[in-house]
């Protein structure tokens, strides 16, 4: 009550909206910036290790990489992409021949079926061009959110974050962005990673998980963020020397 009058409430629609709060993290903003600063020095231009020649072959390669290593996929697709680097050529090749090229990859029969089906959809619905939105990409057979995010990042330069087994593992192990599902981890990482490092964060985290914070035993003695890491599994608090690594060899083994 003011001077005997009831104070009017501001309509909800007129109130300024609060920005979404960052999720609680064990790491401070300064620590998060330092983690990704070090990754940026170690690998200034990180790259995906799946061989491809255009957005179409990238979609196919990433779809084939489910439950398979990048090295195994590269070995199978080198010959395939020489004869079929567009959806039209892939359709002309046919499912049986695609199977023959990729039979060294796990689940190759189902994957060959998906490659033909996604090629057909690209031709019939998208004019043979790979779409540039997540909503359209996930319409393609065999393409889920992770594959779509990889394509958006690597083919079209969008700052996305695809949570594969490596990222899911270290996000939980390091207590960086713990979550029970890849989508939960992705949402948390997107919100805590400093904006200036978000574009390359996907590859930095994958490569860190693949070559340093390995599944069987993390190699803490080679880790550049050992002093910042909050994992209960870590065996060292002394960070490895922060030096730029040699250029990546695309197709390296997992």
Given the residues 70, 111, 164, 188, select the one marked as catalytic: 164
Residues constituting the chain: 254
Active site residue 97: no
25, 176 contact by CB (below 8 A) = yes
Active site residue 183: no
DSSP string, 179-234: -SSHHHHHHHHHHHS-GGGHHHHHHHHHHHHHHTB-SSSB-GGG-TTTTT---TT-
Class of residue 70 by CB neighbours under 10 A (exposed 0-12, middle 13-18, buried 19+):
buried
- Is position 213 annotated in a ligand binding site? yes
| Cα R_g (the chain), whole angstroms | 22
- Is position 229 annotated in a ligand binding site? yes
- Is position 220 annotated in a ligand binding site? yes
Strand, helix or coil for residue 163: coil
CA-wise closest residue to 220 among 241, 205, 235, 242: 235
As annotated, the binding site includes 213, 220, 223, 229
Q: Which residues are designated catalytic?
A: 146, 164
As annotated, the binding site for [4Fe-4S] cluster includes 213, 220, 223, 229
């Amino acid at each position: 009550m003011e001077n005997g009058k009831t104070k009017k409430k501001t309509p909800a629609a007129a109130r300024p909206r609060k920005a979404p709060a960052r999720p609680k993290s064990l790491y401070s903003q300064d620590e998060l910036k330092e983690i990704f600063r070090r990754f940026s020095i170690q690998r200034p231009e990180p790259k995906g290790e799946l061989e491809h020649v255009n957005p179409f072959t990238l979609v196919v390669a990433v779809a084939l990489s489910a439950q398979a290593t990048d090295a195994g996929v590269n070995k199978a697709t080198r010959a395939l992409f020489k004869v079929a680097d567009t959806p039209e050529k892939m359709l002309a090749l046919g499912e049986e021949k695609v199977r023959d090229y990729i039979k060294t990859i796990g689940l190759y029969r189902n994957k060959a079926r998906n490659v033909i089906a996604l090629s057909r959809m690209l031709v019939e619905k998208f004019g043979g061009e790979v779409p540039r939105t997540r909503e359209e990409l996930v319409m393609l057979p065999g393409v889920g959110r992770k594959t779509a995010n990889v394509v958006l990042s690597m083919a079209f330069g969008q700052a996305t974050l695809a949570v594969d087994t490596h990222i899911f593992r270290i996000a939980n192990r390091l207590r960086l962005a713990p979550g029970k599902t890849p989508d939960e981890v992705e949402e948390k990482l997107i919100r805590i990673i400093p904006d200036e490092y978000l574009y390359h964060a996907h590859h930095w985290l994958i490569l860190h998980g693949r070559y340093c914070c390995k599944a069987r035993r993390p190699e803490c003695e080679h880790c550049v963020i050992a002093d910042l890491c909050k994992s209960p599994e870590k065996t060292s608090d002394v960070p490895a020397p922060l030096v730029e690594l040699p250029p990546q060899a695309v197709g390296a083994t997992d």
